[in-house]
């Protein structure tokens, strides 16, 4: 093998192909097995010339690192022959933790940059384990602090050089330079110095004992080859240190008889301009030689240089007799020894390496299986979900428990735990809120800001509620019961709220504002309401109701935090089993790390501390496990508390303060004027009108005022007639809901189950007072403001009655076996109560609507805007007057606007033509069939039973009168009030489990929508008739518009069209507001069945002002007796009848309130406008103080003031109860725990374990694949030896139509080899696998949604903000042509994906969607996809889904943002396709040639073009 014909040939290896193949196989096996097997390791002290020695041994000037400590991790350098490689190719690889970089270079500078980069601890400390100690291993002590300058790492970087001129493969391992004071370098070197290895020790200028050699001597003594190279030989021989160095090394390595010291001095490296460098003596420019003459020339030159330097040493020191058989000059023999070492027993070595590799493959396969199972277990751990579910259930049970004062006592001592108690009275709560506000420097932390009103007033109200209404103020409570008590206390404060007296100036200003009024009448009622609302708008009082809501929020937050903290404190004791199961899950990795003490590895070999016994070690590990478990438990419970408190804060803030608007980046929108985050309109109880301005108005739900001051009918009791009911009659005369057991006839007819369901109705349900009359009930509770404003209030008896009506719960008297009849009754009760509220809302709106319809200024403004936007004809500019008109913009003299004034005057009056005069019935016939109210026949029958002489309202008194113009509009609007009240209900056909509230909601919604459509139809007819009459009946208007042309239309026709548009705008806005009122009725408080207190009919104060018959004066009198009679009367004495209409074969029959009950409710909604006007215009008599309005007007305002607060009770109580339900119900608690970032399992507790296991699994998979590939390549019995093929391919594009993915059976658990066709090499890779590797199956069907898509999107936009959507681009290939996977439905083609949840990140949401869409057919295999880059962003300005790749400049609030991501598919998977969709593969050429067919997909090829598409096929 070796020849001696020439000096160069003497070191040149002439290998046959078989030997070359063996050497390459051995190097491959060494690379894949890392530190196992025979290797050549180069060690030496820092700056000893180790890297230079490696360069001359390899025969190539690598020169990777700078001078000094540059090598901070091992570098494995390999020379590999490649007959096809004309130019040098460097293949590099570095893998650390989750970072992997494999890259090919042709420039040595690029390789040097990479090696320098991976050796830089300052730029990449994450790649150095010593700079990132696992703190879990150092529990109880601080981990060692290591500076970046002292950092080293044992993970090697691989550099492989390919070229055709390499005659013999060579593999060297360069370890970091040894340092006496750094143990890491010694540890890394020892890991590579093994008995089978050859070790090259490079000695520099320092003495061997001064460096790291003494720590390696024992290990080097056991190596099969030990070679010592003395660098800087000229200097060391001259100083007589070479022999001493050899003796020291020989002594340290006693027993090695083959030890030889090779002396060399390479000379100075070439550097342009270096004065000491001598040509022909020092090193040449190796890079220049390599570039100009090639690799073979530079290798020859480097060998010749070492031979020359060896000769010079021998000649110079021939007289010193330093050289002998153990100290020789040059390193030529070193090369020979290394080549001999490489071929020593190479067949046996390869065999041993292959056997070891097979063992490693089997071991890695079992590890991979365990890792895959572990990842699957950790990804969706049932133990974690069960633990959170147990937490939620325990907290719910704790909060739902009834805590009483007995828990105050300590059973051990028998003393009361006053300070530490979690049970508080109402006064305790108020005191703790005040203390907390003072500690936090609350801006309202004065005496008034810390109470509902003031401390004295609060105590008086609470005392009355406690004495007369059973309020539990003195009972020490916690949890839900204390929350409910707080809501009741808030209700009592609303009921007892004193009214600030109205200043005379405010009264006078209101008189001045009264103009022609709404609908031609003086609007004294509306002005009175405005006066009352304005009483709370000053900065001191902060608005009506809102200060009470602020105090409620402070108190509620305090109680919720107290109860959540105490609930979490008991979780460890009550959920110990679930915690243990979770610790068993995560403890497999967590606690195994504790098993070994990291400090033991850092102890010197001879430690003065005696070793621990196995029992002591076991006990130590056990104590550490317990400490770790306790620490993790503490962290988990802290996260649970944080999640619950965040949940409570979110719920309370959203219900009370409303929700914040967010922009497309999910950042709060800051208002430019107020500099505060913008609040969504009508999103919370405390949100005001114009909230986002500097001068917000009253609370958004407060106006328009519901005119319920006359009270409302109580619906707690309904009467039936047993005989008529069973016969199907439509009369209701006698049967009462509290059926007695002795009514055997009825019970035999409808079933014995009714007896049990009616037992809940007790005799005292009529509401008789429990506490007798006392004189304190006649008193009033007043409030003294700092500015001296006096207050008035209702008598305590009235306020207490209001409180009882608003808070007495109504239990549905039903049992599970109740018959459907009772469901009808209960639904009817709630439905009628909702109708009463809707009718009251409409009654407060329609007058303002009619006034707006005939408001000249608003109509002129609307029409003028249409005129300004009208295009000017070109020829008109030539006329002087037209040009002047266009330049000045004056449109006041337009004939159309003059006609608008005339038409509005006609419509607001009572003028009409005789032919237009119609009765109500004639209007319905004229308007057509669609103008009939729901159940028109029943409506007519009810009207026929009403005595018009007794019911004198705008509709009842005039329904048979022929009317036209505005009087007919008034009649229609008042008729709509009556229609809302009398709408009947279809009989229930559902089972007994149907919820009462849901039934009422559904049926009320249907009736409301139908009735609004009929009203629009009727009003359109009236409006069209009267507008047409006004335009034709007034000769002046007709004449002025005769020669006017607008947009090609006659002036009269154009104006009529504009007036219709204006009418549609006004009425639609009013009906939309009515719909908002309807939506605001839910959630439902069954207390509305109690009815309303008649504020107009009852005396409110003892000092009562009675209007005289002349309407111009009042008389003050004592109302003591009336108040006493009111208190002693039953609250629900009046009972109503129910009318049943039998089924006729076409319909299931109807059930409705009797005519008397409907008329009574109808009359309660009629405003006493005449009486209000009379009191409004009274002189200022009997004022409460100087400069204040008269006593009668104050009392009038008090009625509206109380009415507003009663509305506040009915609006707030159900929402507060729903808020409490969201706070404590198990479903909401569990969702809060699962979705809370504070308890995100994947990020905090199990996250590092899961990520560690994922990385380990991926590393095992890659390592296993590489091992299997290496074994196949090196196994001579299976495949012939070959060089690595370079993948180059020409991709042929074949035509292929869209095809549904084939249903193919997947092979389970097999490993498939893949052949790759790379379309590009310069860009980021996107792997594509064949379509045949994928399968489909039906997905789990989703429940159908009845609500239209656009309405659903609009509703969610109003509650959640902009809709955020993510889509995935999934690619496969067919015949080497890319295809995109899309879902085909009736609406077209769409990418897989979906909508994000509020607060969810984009990649988390897309992963959630992909988990439902992509999975593996084999449950034991983990199917993993990879989310890549963001490809595009689309914006939807509207709810119809139309998207643009940019945000239009006029769109400030987009409705949806769609983001499209790259998703790389695994080799095989199964897609879960919805039943209504079909998964298709669409080729890129179809998208390019026919983009109109794929509007959402047409840009995908362009977006994908920036990637290098790698097409894999099964080989």
Q: In this structure, how many other beta carbons lie within 10 angstroms of the beta carbon of residue 1066?
A: 20
Residue 995: CB atoms within 10 Å: 13
**Where is pLDDT greater, at 176 or 1441?**
176
What is the reported pTM? 0.63
pLDDT in tens, 136-185: 444 444 456 678 888 899 889 999 998 888 888 888 999 998 877 788 88
Distance CA 328, CA 321 (A): 11
pLDDT at residue 759 greater than cutoff 60: no
**Averaged pLDDT, 749-762:** 36
What SS3 class is residue 1436? strand
Q: Which phi and psi (to 5°) does residue 1026 adopt?
A: -75, -35
| Sign of the alpha-carbon torsion through 982, 986, 987, 990 | negative
pLDDT score recorded for residue 51 = 86
Mean pLDDT of the chain, nearest integer: 78
1464 φ, ψ to 5°? Answer: -90, 130
Q: What percent of the chain clears pLDDT 70, i.e. is strictly above it?
A: 78
Rg (C-alpha) for the chain, rounded Å, is 46
Max avg pLDDT among 654-663, 963-972, 1001-1010:
654-663
Euclidean distance between CA atoms 627 and 594, whole angstroms: 11
Closest residue by Cα to residue 295 from 49, 517, 52, 80 = 80
Residues 6+ apart with CB under 8 A from 187: 154
**Residue with the larger pLDDT of the pair 1471 and 930:** 1471
For residue 876, pLDDT beyond 50: no
Distance CA 840, CA 712 (A): 10
Q: What pLDDT score was predicted for residue 460? A: 94
Q: Which of 21-35, 433-447, 1332-1346 has the highest mean pLDDT?
A: 21-35
3-state secondary structure 1307-1372: CCCCCCCEEEEECCCCCCEEEECEHHHEEEEECCCCCCCCCCHHHHHHHHHHHHCCEEEEEEECEE
CA gap 739, 759 in Å, rounded: 8
Going by C-alpha positions, the residue among 248, 305, 256 that lies closest to residue 282 is 305
Rounded to 5 degrees, what are φ and ψ at 1415?
A: -155, 175
pLDDT at 1365 (0 to 100): 93
> How far apart are alpha carbons 1152 and 720 in whole angstroms?
11
Decide if pLDDT at 925 tops 50. yes
Q: What is the structure's pLDDT at 348?
A: 86
**H or E element: which one contains 997?**
helix 996-1033
The sign of the dihedral angle between the CA atoms of 412, 417, 419, 423 is: positive
1292 CB-near residues (< 8 Å, 6+ apart) = 1376
Q: What is the mean pLDDT of residues 1232-1244?
A: 72
Please tell me whether the peptide bond between 704 and the residue prior to it is cis, using omega within 30 degrees of 0.
yes
Interval 40-61: pLDDT, tens: 999 999 888 888 899 898 888 8
**Edge to edge, what strands does the sheet with 1314-1318 contain?**
1314-1318, 1508-1514, 1325-1328
Which residues lie across from 736 on neighbouring strands? 719
Strands of the 1393-1395 sheet, one edge to the other: 1393-1395, 1363-1369, 1456-1464, 1426-1436
1120 to 321, 496, 779, 799, 1102: CA distances (angstroms) = 136, 19, 10, 15, 5
Q: Tell me, what's the pLDDT at 770?
A: 56
Which is higher by pLDDT, 479 or 915?
Answer: 479
In tens, the pLDDT along 1176-1224 reads 888 888 899 999 999 999 999 999 999 999 999 989 998 998 999 899 8
Beta strands at 1136-1141 and 1363-1369: parallel, antiparallel or unpaired: unpaired
CB under 8 Å to 937, separation ≥6 — which residues? none
Cis peptide bond upstream of 1083, omega within 30: yes
Least confident of 90-104, 619-633, 1055-1069: 619-633
pLDDT 10s digits, 1350-1383:
778 887 887 778 889 999 999 999 888 899 999 9
Angle at which helices 1191-1224 and 546-569 cross, to 10°? 20
- Beta-bridged to residue 985, according to DSSP, are 1151
pLDDT(519) > 70: no
Q: How far apart are CA 894 and CA 979, in angstroms?
A: 43
Asked if 1163 and 707 touch (Cβ cutoff 8 Å), the reply is: no
What is the length of the chain?
Answer: 1515
């Amino acid at each position: 093998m070796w020849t001696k014909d020439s000096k160069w040939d003497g070191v040149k290896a002439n290998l046959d192909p078989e030997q070359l193949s063996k050497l390459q196989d051995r190097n491959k096996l060494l690379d894949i097995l890392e530190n196992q097997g025979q290797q050549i390791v180069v060690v030496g002290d820092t700056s000893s010339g180790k890297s230079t020695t490696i360069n001359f041994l390899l025969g190539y000037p690598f020169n990777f690192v700078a001078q000094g400590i540059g090598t901070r991790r091992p570098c494995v350098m390999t020379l590999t022959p490649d007959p096809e490689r004309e130019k040098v190719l460097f293949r590099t690889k570095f893998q650390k933790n989750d970072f992997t970089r494999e890259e090919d270079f042709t420039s040595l500078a690029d390789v040097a940059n990479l090696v320098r980069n991976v050796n830089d601890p300052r730029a990449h400390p994450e790649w150095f384990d010593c700079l990132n100690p696992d703190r879990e291993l150092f529990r109880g002590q601080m981990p060692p602090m290591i500076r970046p300058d002292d950092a080293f790492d044992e993970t090697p970087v691989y550099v492989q050089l390919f070229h055709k001129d390499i005659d013999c493969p060579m593999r060297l391992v360069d370890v970091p330079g040894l340092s006496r004071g750094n143990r890491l370098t010694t540890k890394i070197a020892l890991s590579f110095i093994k008995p089978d290895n050859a070790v090259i020790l490079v000695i520099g200028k320092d003495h061997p004992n001064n460096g790291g050699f003494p720590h390696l001597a024992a290990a080097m003594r056991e190596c099969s080859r030990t070679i010592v190279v003395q660098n800087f030989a000229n200097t060391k021989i001259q100083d007589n240190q070479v022999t001493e160095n050899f003796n020291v090394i020989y002594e340290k390595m006693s027993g090695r008889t083959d030890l030889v010291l090779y002396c060399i001095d390479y000379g100075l490296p070439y550097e342009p301009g270096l004065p000491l460098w001598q040509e022909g003596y020092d090193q040449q420019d190796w890079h220049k030689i390599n570039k100009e003459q090639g690799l073979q020339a530079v290798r020859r030159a480097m060998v010749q240089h070492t031979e020359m330097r060896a000769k010079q040493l021998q000649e110079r020191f021939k007289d010193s007799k330093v050289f002998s058989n153990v100290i020789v000059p040059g390193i030529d023999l070193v090369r020979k020894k290394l080549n001999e070492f490489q071929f020593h027993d190479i067949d046996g070595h390869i065999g041993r390496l292959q056997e070891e590799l097979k063992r490693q493959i089997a071991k890695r396969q079992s590890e991979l299986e365990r890792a895959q199972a572990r990842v699957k277990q950790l990804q969706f751990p049932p133990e974690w979900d069960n633990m959170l579910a147990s937490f939620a259930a325990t907290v719910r049970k704790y909060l739902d428990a009834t805590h009483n004062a007995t828990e105050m006592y300590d059973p051990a001592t028998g003393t009361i735990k006053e300070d530490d108690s979690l049970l508080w009275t109402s006064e305790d709560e108020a005191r703790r809120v005040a203390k907390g506000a003072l500690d936090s420097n609350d801006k309202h932390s004065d005496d008034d800001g810390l109470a509902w009103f003031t401390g004295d007033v609060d105590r008086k109200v609470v005392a009355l509620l406690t004495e007369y209404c059973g309020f539990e103020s003195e009972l020490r409570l916690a949890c839900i019961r204390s929350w409910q008590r707080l809501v009741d206390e808030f209700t009592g404060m609303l009921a007892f709220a004193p009214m600030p007296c109205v200043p005379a100036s405010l009264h006078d200003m209101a008189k001045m504002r009264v103009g022609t009024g709404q609908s031609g009448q003086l609007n004294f009622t509306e002005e009175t309401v405005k006066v009352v609302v304005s009483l709370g708008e000053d900065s001191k009082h902060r608005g009506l109701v809102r200060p009470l809501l602020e105090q409620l929020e402070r108190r509620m937050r305090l109680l919720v935090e107290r109860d959540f903290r105490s609930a979490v404190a008991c979780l460890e004791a009550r959920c110990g089993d679930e915690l243990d199961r979770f610790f068993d899950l995560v403890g497999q990795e967590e606690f195994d790390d504790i098993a070994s003490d990291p400090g033991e590895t850092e102890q010197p070999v001879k430690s003065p501390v005696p070793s621990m016994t196995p029992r002591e070690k076991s006990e130590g590990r056990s104590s550490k496990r317990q400490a770790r478990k306790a620490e993790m438990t503490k962290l988990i419970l802290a996260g649970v508390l944080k999640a619950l408190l965040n949940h409570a804060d979110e719920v309370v803030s959203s219900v009370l303060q409303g929700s914040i608007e967010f922009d497309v980046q999910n950042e709060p929108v800051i208002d430019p004027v107020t500099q505060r985050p913008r609040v969504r309109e009508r999103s919370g109880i405390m949100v005001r009108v114009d909230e986002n301005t500097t001068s917000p108005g009253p609370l958004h739900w407060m106006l328009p005022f519901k005119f319920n001051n006359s009270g409302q009918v109580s619906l707690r009791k309904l009467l039936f007639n047993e005989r008529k009911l069973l016969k199907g009659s439509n009369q209701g005369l006698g049967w009462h809901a509290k059926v007695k057991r002795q009514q055997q006839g009825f019970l035999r007819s409808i079933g014995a189950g009714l007896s049990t369901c009616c037992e809940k109705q007790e005799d005292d349900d009529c509401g008789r007072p429990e506490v007798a009359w006392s004189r304190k009930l006649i008193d009033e509770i007043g409030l003294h403001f700092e500015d001296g404003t006096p207050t008035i209030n209702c008598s305590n008896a009235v306020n207490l009655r209001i409180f009882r009506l608003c808070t007495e719960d109504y239990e549905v008297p039903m049992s599970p076996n109740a018959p459907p009849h009772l469901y009808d009754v209960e639904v009817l009760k709630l439905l009628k109560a909702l109708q009463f509220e809707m009718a009251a809302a409409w009654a407060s709106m329609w007058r303002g609507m009619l006034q707006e319809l005939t408001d000249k200024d608003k109509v002129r403004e609307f029409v003028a805007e249409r005129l300004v936007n009208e295009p000017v004809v070109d020829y008109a500019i030539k006329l002087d007057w037209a040009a002047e008109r266009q330049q000045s913009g004056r449109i006041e003299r337009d004939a159309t606007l003059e006609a608008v004034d005339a038409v509005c005057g006609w419509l607001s009056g009572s003028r009409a033509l005789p032919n237009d005069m119609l009765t109500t019935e004639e209007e319905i016939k004229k308007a057509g069939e669609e103008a009939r109210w729901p159940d028109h026949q029943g409506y007519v029958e009810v009207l026929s039973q009403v005595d018009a002489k007794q019911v004198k309202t705008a509709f009842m008194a005039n329904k048979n009168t022929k009317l036209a113009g505005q009087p007919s509009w008034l009649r229609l609007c008042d008729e709509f009030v009556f229609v809302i009240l009398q709408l009947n209900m279809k009989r229930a056909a559902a089972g007994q489990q149907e919820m009462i509230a849901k039934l009422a909601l559904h049926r009320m919604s249907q009736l409301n929508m139908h009735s609004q459509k009929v009203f629009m139809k009727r009003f359109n007819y009236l409006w069209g008739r009267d507008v047409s009459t006004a335009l034709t009946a007034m000769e002046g208007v007709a004449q002025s518009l005769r020669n006017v042309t607008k947009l090609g239309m006659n002036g009269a026709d154009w104006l009529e069209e504009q007036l219709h548009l204006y009418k549609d705008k006004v009425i639609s806005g009013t009906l939309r507001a009515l719909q908002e009122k309807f939506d605001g009725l839910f959630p439902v408080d069954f207390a509305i069945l109690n009815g309303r207190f008649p504020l107009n009919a009852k005396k409110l104060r003892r000092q009562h002002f009675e209007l005289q018959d002349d309407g111009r004066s009042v008389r003050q009198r004592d109302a003591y007796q009336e108040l006493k009679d009111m208190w002693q009367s039953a609250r629900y004495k009046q009972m109503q009848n129910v009318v049943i209409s039998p089924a006729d074969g076409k319909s299931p029959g109807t059930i409705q309130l009797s005519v008397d009950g409907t008329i009574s409710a109808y009359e309660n909604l009629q405003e006493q406008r005449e009486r209000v006007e009379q009191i409004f215009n009274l002189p200022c008599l009997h004022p409460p103080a100087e400069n204040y309005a008269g006593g009668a007007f104050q009392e009038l305002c008090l009625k509206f003031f109380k009415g507003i607060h009663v509305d506040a009770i009915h609006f707030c109580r159900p929402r507060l109860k729903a808020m409490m339900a969201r706070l404590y119900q198990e479903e909401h608690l569990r969702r809060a725990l699962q979705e809370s970032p504070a308890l995100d399992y994947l990020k905090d507790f199990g996250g590092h374990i899961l990520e560690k296991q994922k990385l380990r699994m991926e590393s095992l998979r890659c390592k296993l694949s590489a091992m299997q590939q290496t074994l196949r390549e090196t196994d001579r019995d299976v495949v012939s030896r070959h060089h690595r093929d370079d993948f180059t391919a020409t991709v042929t594009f074949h035509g292929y139509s869209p095809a549904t993915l084939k249903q193919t059976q997947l092979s389970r658990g097999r490993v498939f080899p893949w052949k790759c066709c790379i379309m590009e090499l310069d860009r980021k890779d996107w792997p594509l696998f064949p379509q045949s590797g994928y399968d489909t199956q039906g997905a789990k069907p989703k429940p159908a949604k009845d609500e239209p898509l656009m309405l659903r999107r609009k509703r969610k936009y109003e509650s959640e903000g902009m809709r955020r959507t993510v889509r995935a681009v999934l690619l496969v290939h067919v015949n080497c042509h890319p295809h995109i996977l899309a879902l085909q439905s009736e609406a077209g083609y769409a990418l897989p994906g979906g909508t994000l949840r509020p607060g969810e990140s984009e990649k988390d949401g897309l992963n959630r969607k992909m988990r439902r869409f992509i999975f593996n057919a084999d449950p034991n295999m983990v199917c993993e996809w990879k989310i890549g880059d963001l490809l595009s962003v689309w914006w939807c300005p509207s709810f119809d889904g139309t998207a643009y790749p940019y945000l239009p400049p006029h769109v400030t609030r987009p409705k949806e943002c769609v983001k499209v991501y790259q998703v790389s598919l695994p080799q095989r998977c199964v897609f879960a396709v919805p039943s209504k969709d079909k998964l298709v593969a669409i080729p890129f050429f179809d998208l390019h040639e026919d983009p109109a067919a794929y509007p959402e997909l047409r840009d995908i090829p362009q977006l994908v073009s920036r990637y290098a598409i790698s097409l894999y096929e099964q080989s």
